[in-house]
Amino acid sequence: MNLDPGLDRLAALEGFFALRTGRPRPRAGRPPLPTLAEVYATPGGTCGCRGDEETDPLTFRVRKVVRLLAAPEVRVGVSVAQQGLAARLWSVALGAAVLYGRVPDLDPRLLHWDADGGAPDDLWLSEVRALPGDAATIRRLVHHGHLEPLSAALRARHPVAAGLLWGNAASALASTARLLDGWAAARGRTDVRDHVRALTAELLDHPDLRDTGNRDGTSFRRRSCCLYYRVPGGGLCGDCCFTQAPRSSLTDPSG
């Protein structure tokens, strides 16, 4: 099945799976949404976000997350912001692969990002180009096309460990797979369940992701911590390496 112009089957999954298509709507009094290629390449910022003094979308997003979560340190905002974007990208790619058998070209030059928006209004794909839905293509689009430059851009701005960010990426992929597996199970789609599990296993078998956690079926237990437990009332994530929140900030394995 080929992709439809509006990616309607993805939209039916809602949430992190949906993706806006076409040119982003003009925003009154605000600059055009930058592409993710521009975001990753912005050293100190030329793309504005809602009149904030910051002209760097990544910095804007991190500070917004820190503010909304009342996070005690910037690293928490970096981690949560990165994991959210990773989840969006994995969801679109994996969802399209199992529902269409094809994936949209997620070239960073085609994806516009609103650093002040939430799913699905944060991402706009300006042109829908169908590509093969195999793991190699998804890895090229998401892992190499986005997660690598995103990690580099964030680490150029903030003191955050690469291991933490790759742990986030693996966790986001595993979570996406679980959601799709549950959707397929509820509809008796064993073909989709098998496809999801096979793609996820192949995608996780990459040097950057292979040692980030332990996977058994759709369950995943990571070996690093995303630091969310430091958010007031945050607690532990379902795949956290901890069984209880550490008492000391010196004990978290964030790298």
Q: What is the pTM of this model?
A: 0.88
- When mean pLDDT is compared across 10-19, 26-35, 45-54, 192-201, the lowest value belongs to 45-54
Tell me, what's the pLDDT at 240?
Answer: 63
Identity of the amino acid at 190: T
Tell me, what's the pLDDT at 115?
Answer: 93
Query: Which H/E stretch holds residue 39?
Result: helix 36-41
Average pLDDT of the chain is: 86
Q: How many other CB atoms sit within 10 Å of the CB of residue 122?
A: 21
Contact 87/79 with Cβ under 8 angstroms?
A: no
Identity of the amino acid at 26: P
Give Rg (Cα) of the chain. 18
Two tokens at 168?
A: 């986030």
Burial of 172 from C-beta contacts in 10 A (0-12 / 13-18 / 19+): buried
Tell me, what's the pLDDT at 31?
Answer: 80
**CA gap 34, 228 in Å, rounded:** 28
Burial of 243 from C-beta contacts in 10 A (0-12 / 13-18 / 19+): exposed
Two tokens at 61?
A: 């997003």
Two tokens at 117?
A: 């928006």
Sign, Cα dihedral of 239, 243, 244, 245: negative
Candidates 20, 18, 49, 44; CA nearest to 34 is: 49
What average pLDDT does this structure show over 92-100? 96
Distances (CA, A) of 113 to 8, 19, 187, 232: 20, 11, 33, 28
Name the pairing type of β-strands 20-21 and 123-125.
Answer: parallel
Distances (CA, A) of 109 to 1, 9, 38, 243: 25, 23, 8, 41
Residue 114 has pLDDT above 60, yes or no: yes
Band the pLDDT of 59: cuts 50, 70, 90: very high
Tell me, what's the pLDDT at 55?
Answer: 76
Identity of the amino acid at 35: T
Residue 244 has pLDDT above 70, yes or no: no
**CA gap 127, 190 in Å, rounded:** 31
**CA gap 78, 185 in Å, rounded:** 34
At 131-181, the pLDDT tens digits run 999 999 999 999 999 999 999 999 999 989 999 999 999 999 999 999 999
Count of H helices and E strands in the chain?
A: 8, 7
